[in-house]
Amino acid sequence: MKSNQLCGPEFRRFLDIMSESYETMEEVNQKAGEAISEIASLLCIEKVIINFLAPASFISPKGELVNRVLYDSQRQGIQDQIEIQGFQYKTGEDGKMYVEFYLHKDRHKTDSHNQEEIAFVAKLIFAFGGRNRIMYALNKMKVSDVQTMLPNTEGFLQRAHQYMQDMSIHKFVGIFLNIKNFKYVNKIMDYRAGNRILEEYVAFIRKLLSEREVFARLGGDNFVLLIERSRLEEFLLQIKTIHIQMEDGPRIQKFSFGCRIGVMYLDQHLSNPGQILMGTSIAMQMAKNLGNRDVVIYSPEMNAQILAEKEISMNYGKALAKREFLVYYQPKVEIETGKIIGAEALARWMKQEELLEPAAFIPALERNGSICKLDFYVLDMACRDLKNWILEGNEAYCISSNFSRWNLRESDFVERILQVVDRYQLEHHFIELEITETSSFEDYDAMICFSREIKKHGFRIAIDDFGEGFSSLNLLKNIEVDVLKLDKSFLANGFMEDKNQIILEGILYLANRLKIDVLAEGIETSQQRDFIKEKGIRSAQGYFYAKPMPSAEFQRRLKE
Ligand code: C2E
Ligand code: MG
Ligand code: MG
């Protein structure tokens, strides 16, 4: 054979096939075989084998060991006429590729050009294979999360789409998983350690999955999965709490992660895979909102609820500017005499001629943190009403206003209260700030600082809804409190039971020793009043005395 035959039509066909792009490595190998068959007889090639060894990397997370016959002429009875020639190359990811040619000895030997051309073809096979591997990696990157090597959102949608097309999607449930409190990891560990913990977390879950199940990362500590329906319960149990250990210098740090989960049962009516992301994320959001349940199953009604919240958040800013919020007052009463001793200012929203109670809008504002503006708006209105009352020559009363715990994170919280109250030149002891007790340590510290600071300025502090959550008596040790507002749950059914009574008596005893006033909220009946009176509580608030009412009505009551 002459060397210029490399420019012949066979070789051109070889190049044409090799330089196409292929979807999978399987296809690449198959096409390489086809390409070689074009030049096989020209170059005396009887068989080509590749050996490929790649360490674990982004392209193949478990590493790769491929041993494959690319081409075989399948001619029989020529074993003793074969000579083997091999070529070894190093790949970019520190792997190895070995290309082995089985050549027809007689012709190959006598033709020195053939030897050079085989070496050339071997290099081409290596180069084109590498090119396709890179293309494959690029395509994979589009659907992968590079840090965890899980599919990303796009990758998830593609896999779900496949299951929809082959009509098996109903065999799965969609799961949205959010790791609880992961943000604290980055606070105590450095960023890189945080990443390693996340990778361990992912590895733990990955091991639990069957071949057909899908596990994808949406970003941060949010994941979405397709789990076989029959395995749902088992899976939820397995991931309820995941324990991870990390070496941190000489120490071993131990972490336990819970998670919040939105589950969506899938059926054939699904019209696009994006609905799985939407439904499961809404259910997960519900779990977050509820706070007391980690797993919530999606139902279509949830859409309406989420929409309603969105609508509230969207209209809230304008409503504040248009002063659509009103302040109602609920009297606080001295039990012994029935005399009004003050009032709590409570927000109402006059929304298109409908008067909304806080339950309809406060939770949504509380969740997105925008509540603080309303708190100051209400304080401002309450101060204005009180000031006008005093200017009319009446005796001042004490007014309490609610403040969300979100305010504690603002460094100018105290200053802003001073600004509002001082604008009306009111004496500070007429203003009481109601804050609900806290269950998070961060807020706890902030609460201590705030209470000390605000007390210096002579304001009063009330702990609202005391006893509703995980009340901590420790709170009373460190936080400067004037009033405990006992939550109405203390009056709920079964309250007269021994244990509850003992707890109440304990709280009252402590409050008394610490010189903290106690006010009972939610008194609705004379029996309840008698009960708390007998326990020694001196002030109360509740429908039994009066419901929240507009300012004018409240002031009329005061005059009576
Ligand atoms: P809260 O601060 O514990 O206020 C007392 C709530 O209990 C009021 O509900 C009041 O109407 C209700 N209540 C009073 N007596 C009785 C009774 O005898 N029986 C029953 N079942 N309920 C009674 P409201 O006005 O609907 O306010 C609900 C909550 O909304 C408040 O609870 C407070 O946490 C929040 N809120 C209201 N206004 C504001 C505000 O301006 N800022 C913030 N951050 N929260 C506010
Ligand atoms: Mg309150
Ligand atoms: Mg309360």
CATH (domain of 531): 3.20.20.450
| 299 CA to centre of ligand 1 in angstroms | 29
Q: Evaluate whether residue 310 is within a structural domain.
A: no
Does residue 358 have its Cβ closer than 6 Å to ligand 1? Answer: yes
Q: Looking at the structure, tell me whether residues 138 and 161 fall in a common domain.
A: no
Amino acid at 304: A
In a domain, 218, yes or no: yes
pLDDT at 76 over 50: yes
- If asked whether residues 331 and 271 sit together in one domain, one would say no
Q: Are strands 214-219 and 222-228 parallel, antiparallel or unpaired?
A: antiparallel
Q: How far apart are alpha carbons 511 and 506 in whole angstroms?
A: 9
Instruction: Verify that 134 and 160 share a domain, yes or no.
Output: no
pLDDT at 265: 97
Does the residue 305 lie in any domain? no
What 3-state DSSP class applies to 148?
A: coil
Mutation probe of ligand 1 site: the residue of 332, 361, 362, 490 with most atoms within 8 A of C-beta = 362
Q: Do 53 and 137 fall into the same domain?
A: yes
Task: Give the chain's mean pLDDT.
Answer: 91
**Is the C-beta atom of 524 inside 6 A of ligand 1?**
yes
Ligand nearest to the CA of 374: 1
How many angstroms separate the alpha carbon of residue 142 from the centre of ligand 2?
51
Residue 457 inside a domain? The answer is: yes
User: Distance, CA 402 to ligand 2 centroid (Å)?
Assistant: 5
Based on the domain organization, do 382 and 333 belong to the same domain?
yes
How far is ligand 2, taken at its centre, from the CA of residue 330, in Å? 10
Cα–chain-centroid distance for residue 21? 39
With a 6 Å cutoff on the Cβ, whether 432 touches ligand 1 is no
* Domain end among 116, 142, 168: 142
Q: Domain boundary residue among 237, 266, 299? A: 299
Based on the fold, state whether residues 30 and 135 are members of the same structural domain. yes
Distance 416 CA to ligand 3 centre (A): 23
Q: Are the CB atoms for 265 and 299 separated by under 8 Å?
A: no
Rounded mean pLDDT of 396-412? 94
The closest-lying atom of ligand 1 relative to the alpha carbon of residue 434 is 2
Check whether residue 328 and residue 443 sit in a common domain. yes
| CATH number of the CATH domain containing 24 | 3.30.450
CA distance 462 to 207: 51
Given a cut of 90, whether residue 135 has pLDDT beyond it is no
* Domain of residue 223, CATH code: 3.30.70.270
Q: Are both 32 and 72 inside the same structural domain? A: yes
Are 244 and 359 contained in the same domain?
A: no
* 67 has a pLDDT exceeding 90: yes
Question: Mean pLDDT across the stretch 114-122?
Answer: 90
Q: Is the CB of 362 under 6 A from ligand 1?
A: yes
- The CA distance from 408 to 406, in Å, is 5
Q: Is residue 516 part of a domain?
A: yes
Closest listed ligand to the CA of 332: 1
Q: Which of 335, 346, 461, 490 to mutate to test the pocket of ligand 1 (most atoms within 8 A of CB)?
A: 346
Task: Kindly state whether residue 311 falls inside one of the protein's structural domains.
Answer: no
Task: Indicate if 168 and 28 belong to the same structural domain.
Answer: no
Residues 62 and 162 in one domain: no
- How many angstroms separate the CA atoms of 271 and 334, rounded? 62
Question: Which of 151-155, 349-353, 447-451: highest mean pLDDT?
Answer: 151-155
**Is the distance from the beta carbon of residue 357 to the nearest atom of ligand 1 less than 6 Å?**
yes
Ligand 1 pocket check for 481: Cβ under 6 Å: no
* Number of domains present in the structure of the chain: 3
Q: Which residues of 505-542 are buried (b: 16+ CB within 10 A; e: fewer)?
A: eebbeebeeeebbbbbbbbeeeebbebbeebebebbbb
pLDDT in tens, 303-349: 888 888 889 999 999 999 999 999 999 999 999 999 999 999 999 99
Decide: 262 and 176 in contact? Cβ < 8 Å: yes
Ligand 1 atom closest to the CA of 543, numbered from 1:
18
Determine the average pLDDT of the residues in 114-121: 89
Amino acid at 387: K
Distance CA 560, CA 557 (A): 5
Spatial CB neighbours of 222, under 8 Å, sequence gap ≥ 6: 176, 177, 178
Mean pLDDT of 516-543: 95
Q: Which phi and psi (to 5°) does residue 336 adopt?
A: -55, -45
How far is ligand 2, taken at its centre, from the CA of residue 275, in Å?
A: 40
The tokens describing 532, both together, are 């708390």
Distance, CA of 218 to CA of 537 (rounded, Å): 53
Euclidean distance between the first and final Cα of the chain, in Å? 120
Print the domain residue range for 176.
Answer: 153-299
Q: Which atom of ligand 1 is nearest to the CA of 378?
A: 41
Question: pLDDT tens digits for 268-286?
Answer: 889 999 999 999 999 999 8
Q: Do 134 and 210 lie in a common domain?
A: no
Q: How far is the CA of 418 from the centre of ligand 3 (A)?
A: 24
> How many Å apart are CA 179 and CA 477, to the nearest integer?
33
| Domain's final residue, options 77, 107, 142 | 142
| 342 CB near ligand 1 (under 6 Å) | no
Q: Does the CB atom of residue 330 touch ligand 1 within 6 A? A: yes
Closest CA relative to residue 239, chosen from 211, 280, 216, 206: 206
CA–CA distance, 100 with 45 (Å, rounded to integer) = 10
The answer to whether the pTM exceeds 0.75 is no
At residue 360, what is the residue type?
A
